[in-house]
Structure 1
Amino acid sequence: MADKTPNIREFLDTMDPNNYVIGIVHVPPGCDAKDLLVSTPKKTLNKYFKKLAKHPERKVRKILPTSKDSRIFELISEGPSSRTLMPFVGKSSKGGHCLRLLSVHRLQMLLTNKKEGDFEE
Structure 2
Amino acid sequence: MSTPSSMRRLVTAAVSLPLLAGGFVALNATSASADCGSHPAWQNLSSGAGRVTNSSPIRTGPYQSCDVVPNGQVGTSKDLFYHCWVLNREGNKWTHVRVANTTIEGWMYNGNLNDGGSTAPSNQCTA
The reply to whether TM is greater than 0.5 is no
Larger radius of gyration: 2
TM-score by structure 2 length? 0.25
- TM-score, normalised on structure 1? 0.25
Which is strand-richer, 1 or 2? 1
Q: Which has the higher contact order (CA 8 A, sep 6+)?
A: 1
